[in-house]
Structure 1
């Protein structure tokens, strides 16, 4: 009978933000607008980096990688979030849930590593400007990019494999809008101690190590900025890194709160609210910060618009 019960759950039901039924439509419109803006903003950055030859440098190659990552990172969770705002019953198969878990944490780990790499790139550019072309050549930049993706997708592989062997015998309601680790563990009738310990260890190692490397880079940058004799030089250099540091603060602040902790009590309401920041808000904030605070990207965007206007006027004259 026990074995039979353990095979009864073949799908899960997302609860989403069902605790606020009167706000469902408002939440749907809000999340949809942010999601579409995020897709458009990140796609635009990728297009500009690819089309403008002046942006074919390590800094903007990493930025293009980050924008490409953000598109898939938010797409891994937001569609189900939107569905939970419109429908009372939104389901996902057990295998689909595990797949979502893997891709969400793979992309999240990739972002952590990529942010650390971007901080290291800025450290070399500001603290070692004469050796920067040698230390961060195009070949090395591409290796860092590939390594970030490879490391991110390897990190959660073993915990995902162990989760696939768990038994789920009810209840089948996930008190979340995506297949996060804690909600999955709560639904399992197997012993989850090993997979929980391994999962939290992996997430803590990836998050904390990349965070410490990132902050170490920015620490050296701050020291270098302070030593600059010219106030104008200090202002320009700090402005270049301020946008990066803003992204780092928002992203790491939320994921450290969510995942760098022992597998103890978990408040699902707070967890869902915090998840909105790194699943929905951060992928939109990244392109906004990098474009609004970056003169090179704004210049390339103006060139793109001017070229489009020229081609449009030319086609209208020919017509």
Structure 2
């Protein structure tokens, strides 16, 4: 396997050097390591307990909880693609990542991120059917439909990042490419290349719009219909049931898109590089930590 180097020759595969957070004092590396380790353990334990409860408790074998198991699985996979390497970097100074490992990490990170956005849309649709069409709920939300919706979300998300990852892997890099990040984020890898970065930056932006704003519009549409249906209810009990059905999902959606907003603002605003890096780290760890707390409470 070969790659193009910055001098135009075809050479052996480069390796990547993760810069981490360049301005971070070395005295803070160990405290931040323990903070990240604690958060990662909370993610693992919290989501594992949710999955165990879903399997063991027959009353939770319902569509809403079926998609929650998908969300918990995604949180486990999503964080495991990045946090172990970040922990290794902080504790051991393990900055190096091979070419295949870097692009595998990039692909998995963005695939699981896309799948999470789609699953959140499907969960909003389930709530829409439950509140706006309750009599049709058993007909629409059959086990076969649930599996089809979940499988579609995973499959589309696994396919969507492939063009960007493949084209980025064909860019020219130094023998040791310096990535100003804690993991192989698409934009950070593109900026480490000596090729023209504009096409890949534009492609990454377009994919981000598809997997962020399109699902957000569908979520807003679902909840607009739910709100209209709730306002037509005369009973206080109906209002309470609708609120209990949607509250946890709304909090998860809120934290998810808040973390995306933090990452986006840190990139677009004229801020130091470490703000952009920390914005992406917050996006990678915030919602997986909060989701088990929200759903268990």
1:303 aligns to what? none
1:32 aligns to what? 37
Query: 2:15 is matched with which residue: 11, 18, 23?
Result: 11
Alignment partner of 2:149: what SS? helix
Question: 1:205-259, CA deviations, whole angstroms, 9 ceiling, x for partnerless residues?
Answer: 1211111101111122122222222223313321321111111111122224535
Alignment partner of 2:135: what SS? coil
2:53 aligns to what? 48
Kindly indicate whether residue 185 of structure 2 is the aligned counterpart of residue 180 of structure 1.
yes
Alignment partner of 1:130: what SS? helix
Alignment partner of 2:214: what SS? helix
Q: Is the 8 A contact 2:22 2:274 kept in 1?
A: no
Q: Is the 8 A contact 1:10 1:94 kept in 2?
A: yes
Q: Give unmatched runs, 5+ long, in structure 2.
A: 1-5
Question: 1:9-45, CA deviations, whole angstroms, 9 ceiling, x for partnerless residues?
Answer: 7211212234222211111111101101101111111
2:221 aligns to what? 216
Q: Is the 8 A contact 1:58 1:136 kept in 2?
A: yes
Kindly indicate whether residue 245 of structure 2 is the aligned counterpart of residue 240 of structure 1.
yes
Q: Is the 8 A contact 1:9 1:169 kept in 2?
A: no
Q: Is the 8 A contact 1:168 1:189 kept in 2?
A: yes
Aligned pair in 2 of structure 1 residues 84, 110: CA closer, same or farther (>3 Å)? same
Q: Give unmatched runs, 5+ long, in structure 1.
A: 293-319
User: Aligned residues, how many?
Assistant: 291
Q: Is the 8 A contact 1:200 1:263 kept in 2?
A: no
- Alpha-carbon distance in 1 for matches of 2:286, 2:266: 22
Q: Is the 8 A contact 2:177 2:193 kept in 1?
A: no
Query: 1:291 is matched with which residue: 277, 280, 296?
Result: 296
Q: Is the 8 A contact 2:122 2:149 kept in 1?
A: yes
Q: Which moved further from structure 2: 225-234 or 22-31?
A: 225-234
- Alpha-carbon distance in 1 for matches of 2:261, 2:215: 11
Displacement of 1:285 in angstroms is: 0.7
Alignment partner of 1:172: what SS? strand
- Alpha-carbon distance in 1 for matches of 2:276, 2:39: 20
Displacement of 1:173 in angstroms is: 2.2
Q: Is the 8 A contact 1:13 1:172 kept in 2?
A: yes
Q: Is the 8 A contact 2:8 2:172 kept in 1?
A: no
Query: 1:145 is matched with which residue: 131, 146, 150?
Result: 150
> Equivalences for 1:1-319 in 2 at 5 Å?
2-4=7-9, 7=11, 10-20=14-24, 21-169=26-174, 172-258=177-263, 268-292=273-297
- Alpha-carbon distance in 2 for matches of 1:221, 1:98: 41
Aligned pair in 2 of structure 1 residues 179, 9: CA closer, same or farther (>3 Å)? same
Q: Is the 8 A contact 1:169 1:189 kept in 2?
A: yes
Determine which structure has more spread, i.e. the larger CA radius of gyration. 1
